[in-house]
C-alpha cells in the first residue's frame, strides 16, 4: 500500500518530522517496559495508563478510551485485579456501575515506567540547544492537546506532577 501524501510539501515535511520523532519516543517507551512483559500486557498497560491519567472510571468509559470492545477491557481488568494492580469499588454516583482505579501497587508501577521515560527523554533533550528544546516543548503541548490528552491542570488535579 502506497503512503498517502498531501499536495502540500511543507505539510508532508511536518508529518515526516513528527513520524521521525515518534519513532524515537516509541523506542523510549519500549525500553521503559523492557522488564514488564511478564507483569502486564500492552492492553493491560494501556488500561493502567488511562486510569492513571484520567482517574477512576467505569468499564464502559475505559473500553471507549482504550478503543476496544468492553469484553476485551473486562478481560484485561480482570487480570489486573487478580495481579493486585487494579481495584474495583462502588461508584458513589451510580450504584449500577463499579469504578476501576489503580491500587498503590498499580500507581507504583506506572510511576516507575514514567520515571524511566522521563530520564531517557531528559538525556535526549540535554543534547539539544535550549531554543530547540523550548520550541519542541511548546509544539508537543499543542500536539498533545490536539490528540485529546488532558491539560496540565487536569493532570495536576489527578495527582500527576510531571
Query: Could you report the per-residue pLDDT of 11-54, keeping only the tens digit for each?
Result: 999 999 999 999 999 999 888 888 887 789 889 999 999 999 88
pLDDT band at 162 (very low <50, low <70, confident <90, very high): low
Percent of the chain residues topping a pLDDT of 70:
91
pLDDT of the residue at 137: 93
Q: Looking at the predicted structure, is the pLDDT value of residue 9 above 90?
A: no
Query: Could you report the per-residue pLDDT of 97-151, keeping only the tens digit for each?
Result: 889 999 999 999 999 999 999 999 999 999 999 999 999 999 999 998 898 887 7
- Evaluate whether residue 139 is within a structural domain: no
- Evaluate whether residue 18 is within a structural domain: no
Percent of the chain residues topping a pLDDT of 90:
66
- Evaluate whether residue 129 is within a structural domain: no
Residue 109, C-alpha cell as written in the block? 508501577
Side-chain-side CA neighbours of 131 within 13 Å: the count stands at: 0
- Evaluate whether residue 31 is within a structural domain: no
Do 45 and 79 contact (CB within 8 A), yes or no?
A: no
- Evaluate whether residue 158 is within a structural domain: no
Q: How many domains does the chain have?
A: 1
Mean pLDDT across the chain: 88
Question: Can you give the residue range of the structural domain that contains 94?
Answer: 37-111
- Evaluate whether residue 13 is within a structural domain: no
pLDDT of the residue at 92: 83
Per-residue pLDDT, averaged over 74-91, amounts to 94
The CATH number of residue 105's host domain is 1.10.10.10
- Evaluate whether residue 27 is within a structural domain: no
Amino acid at each position: 500500500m502506497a503512503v498517502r501524501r498531501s499536495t502540500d510539501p511543507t505539510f508532508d515535511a511536518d508529518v515526516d518530522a513528527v513520524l521521525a520523532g515518534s519513532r524515537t519516543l516509541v523506542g523510549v517507551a519500549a525500553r521503559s517496559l523492557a522488564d514488564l512483559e511478564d507483569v502486564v500486557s500492552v492492553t493491560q498497560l494501556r488500561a493502567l495508563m488511562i486510569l492513571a491519567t484520567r482517574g477512576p472510571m467505569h468499564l464502559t468509559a475505559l473500553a471507549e478510551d482504550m478503543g476496544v470492545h468492553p469484553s476485551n477491557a473486562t478481560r484485561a481488568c480482570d487480570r489486573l485485579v487478580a495481579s493486585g494492580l487494579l481495584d474495583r469499588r462502588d461508584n458513589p454516583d451510580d450504584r449500577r456501575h463499579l469504578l476501576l482505579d489503580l491500587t498503590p501497587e498499580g500507581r507504583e508501577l506506572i510511576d516507575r515506567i514514567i520515571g524511566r521515560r522521563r530520564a531517557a527523554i531528559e538525556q535526549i533533550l540535554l543534547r539539544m540547544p535550549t531554543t530547540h528544546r523550548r520550541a519542541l516543548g511548546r509544539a508537543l503541548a499543542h500536539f498533545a492537546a490536539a490528540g485529546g490528552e488532558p491539560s496540565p491542570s487536569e493532570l495536576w488535579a489527578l495527582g500527576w506532577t510531571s
